[in-house]
Chain A
Amino acid sequence: MIRVDNISKSLGGREVLKDVSAVFEPGKTNLIIGKSGSGKTVFLKCIVGLFGIDSGAIWYSDILFNELDFRARKEIRKEMGMLFQGSALFDSMTVEENVRFPLDMFTTMTYGEKLVRVNFCLERVNITDSNRLLPSELSGGMKKRVAIARAIALKPRYLFCDEPNSGLDPKTSIVIDELIREITVELNMTTIVNTHDMNSVMENGEKIIFVEEGEKCWEGNKSQILKSDCKLLNEFVFANALAKQLKESAR
């Protein structure tokens, strides 16, 4: 479980996160939604400690994460996997080396054992016969999937995904959503996903946090989201014409 209490963060003289609190439970896909520039990436990077926070507290189970130093954080870091908005694969390494990297760094497995694990993870994300390719030779969707494989290589307890399906076609996007949900249940992970894709919200939204201008405006699940009376949330959810019509006809 991850809990954040009243965190705030300023960047470049502007308050990007304002007093946000939330609880993220294991075995669930927790979504952070909001429009572009609302502070989702900054929020996620604060939770994982890539950005320091100005005030507030971040708890991983019963450990106060934001007070730990680099060495102590490392223990928790080994249990984290993250999919970055731009995939962030190591571009000098092949697909196989990318997925093997966390295993090389943090386990004492033999080469053969690592290879089994790497291939298992790659198969899990439907990437086969691409072990020797470099990231520059992959499509955007493949990069995301390889990045997911790398993130789950060490069987993390916490998985963070920053816009896993932005820039993908609807079908691949659904495949990735399903994948994230399945592995979350499989490994009983605490998963936090940033998205502004309504499809994923309706598919995966067991717990949804809506962020606007760095503030948490609403919290609930996918069955509540269509009935909410939060004005900003409605504007976000019913932004396109089809969705608006559906809402009208539902009345």
Chain B
Amino acid sequence: MTFRFLSGFGAYWMLLGKVFSRPEKPAIYYRQTMKELVSLGLRSIGIVTIISFFMGAVITLQTAYNTENPIYPTYLIGLGARDSIILEFSSTIVALILAGKVGSNIASEIGTMRVTEQIDALELMGVNSASYIILPKVVATLIFNPFLTLISIITGIVGGWIVGTTAGVITSPDYIYGIQYAFIPYYITYSLIKTLFFAFIITTVSSLQGYIVEGGSLEVGRASTKAVVYSSVFILLVNVILTQLLLS
């Protein structure tokens, strides 16, 4: 168990070493990165928007029902919803969801390339396969995921506003006052920093799982499950560490 963990960790660092070596043809890497921006970034906007809207709504309702108290001003519901969304929801929960979507996608794509000998074909030509396949994915998610986080923050807050006012737990002016009250801009920075770490974890951990597949389509399926599980666990672990480092 300990041995497997350590050798897995060793493989991870060795792969990172291969990924971050100097690209041989920058133009081709640029083209690949553009492709990945579309497939890993743009194609995630839909799911992030839908989930953020409903989570923002639920957070607002929960906050309202847990603070039903005459001495507690209702605008604080808006403030509470805003801070939960910015601090935890739009970075960590969205990262977990992306680990499911993007992570499994990456692991099965790379795993299939491995078992159909496409990676061997690249290596044979003298191409650094790890760097050619993985680096564009890492760069694309590092560029794009912060935007996903911002989109999530906005739709989450809008969702809370629409559903909160429709359900009648808070008035529109109170909510709008609440989301501006005692706003700490650093929280956004904090959220974006976490997003960068999580994006890196999702792409590299999932890529490794795909890259080391041996066997056939069954193993590719397993690799994609492992990719989701491992990246989720790492995200939660790093979340604890970053929260302590950045907010204390």
Give the B-binding residues of A (Cβ under 8 A).
45, 48, 50, 70, 73-75, 77-78, 80, 82, 84-86, 88-91, 101-102, 104-106
CA distance A101 to B117 in the complex (A): 16
Inter-subunit contact B117/A88 (CB<8 Å): yes
**Is B126 in contact with A77, judged by CB distance below 8 angstroms?**
yes
Chain B residues near A84 (CB-CB < 8 A): 117, 120-121
Tell me the minimal C-beta distance from B2 to chain A in angstroms. Answer: 23
Q: Which residues of B contact A75 (CB under 8 A)?
A: 126
Q: How far is the CA of A45 from the CA of B117 in the complex (A)?
A: 11
Query: How far is it, in angstroms, between the C-alpha of A240 and the C-alpha of B153 when the chains are bound?
Result: 71
For chain B, residues 80 to 132, give those with C-beta under 8 angstroms from any C-beta of chain A.
112-113, 116-118, 120-121, 123-128
The contact of A90 among B25, B28, B118, B123, by CB within 8 Å, is: B118
Which residues of the other chain, A, contact B126 by a CB distance below 8 angstroms? 73-75, 77-78, 106
Identify the closest chain A residue to B125 (Cβ). A102
B125 / chain A contacts, CB cutoff of 8 Å: 77-78, 80, 101-102, 105-106
List of B residues within 8 angstroms of A70 by Cβ? 128
One of B24, B120, B128 near A88 (C-beta < 8 A): B120
- Bound-state CA distance A60–B109 (Å) is 34
Contact (Cβ within 8 A) B117 A85: yes
Q: Which of B11-37 contact A (CB under 8 A)?
A: 24-25, 28
Instruction: Return A191 CB to nearest CB of chain B, in Å.
Output: 15
Count of A-B residue pairs with CB < 8 Å:
47
Which residues of B lie under 8 Å from residue A90 when comparing CB positions? 113, 118, 121
Q: Which of A48, A89, A106 contacts B124 (CB 8 A)?
A: A48
Residues from chain A with Cβ under 8 Å of B120 in the complex: 45, 50, 84, 88
Q: A73-B126, A78-B126, A105-B28 are in contact. Are A91 and B118 (CB under 8 A)?
A: yes
Q: List 12 A-B contacts (CB under 8 A).
A: A50-B123, A77-B124, A77-B125, A80-B125, A84-B117, A85-B117, A86-B117, A88-B118, A89-B118, A104-B28, A105-B28, A105-B127
Besides A75-B126, A90-B118, 19 other A-B contacts (C-beta < 8 A): A48-B124, A50-B120, A50-B123, A50-B124, A73-B126, A77-B125, A77-B126, A78-B125, A78-B126, A80-B125, A82-B121, A82-B124, A86-B117, A88-B121, A89-B118, A91-B112, A105-B125, A105-B127, A106-B126
What residues on B are CB-neighbors of A104 within 8 Å?
Answer: 25, 28
Please measure, in the bound complex, the distance between the C-alpha atom of A82 and the C-alpha atom of B124, giving whole angstroms. 8
- Chain B contacts of A74 at CB under 8 A? 126
Q: Which residues of A contact B113 (CB under 8 A)?
A: 90
Q: Which residue of B lies closest to A48 (CB)?
A: B124
Q: How far is the CA of A106 from the CA of B24 in the complex (A)?
A: 9
Q: How far is the CA of A171 from the CA of B176 in the complex (A)?
A: 76
- Complex Cα distance A25/B28, Å? 36
Chain B residues within 8 Å of A85, by CB: 117
Q: How far is the CA of A90 from the CA of B112 in the complex (A)?
A: 10
The complex places the Cα of A77 from the Cα of B123 at a distance, in Å, of 8
Contact of B25 among A82, A86, A105 (CB under 8 A): A105
Q: Within the assembled complex, what's the spacing in Å between the Cα atoms of A48 and B28?
A: 25
* Known contacts A73-B126, A77-B126: A105-B24 contact under CB 8 Å: yes
Provide the residues of chain B in CB contact with A102, threshold 8 Å: 125
With a CB–CB cut-off of 8 A, which chain B residues contact A88?
A: 116-118, 120-121
Distance of A101 Cα from B25 Cα, bound (Å): 12
How far is the CB of A35 from the nearest CB of chain B, in Å? 21
4 A-B pairs with the lowest CB-CB distances in the bound complex, closest first: A77-B126, A74-B126, A88-B117, A88-B121
Q: With the chains together, A70 CA to B113 CA distance in Å?
A: 21
> Least Cβ distance of A209 to chain B in Å?
21
* A105-B121 Cα distance, complex, nearest whole Å: 13
B132 to chain A minimum Cβ distance, whole angstroms, is 9
State how many angstroms separate the Cβ of B134 from the closest Cβ of chain A.
15
Q: For the complex formed, measure the closest distance between the CB of A138 and the CB atoms of chain B, giving whole angstroms.
A: 14
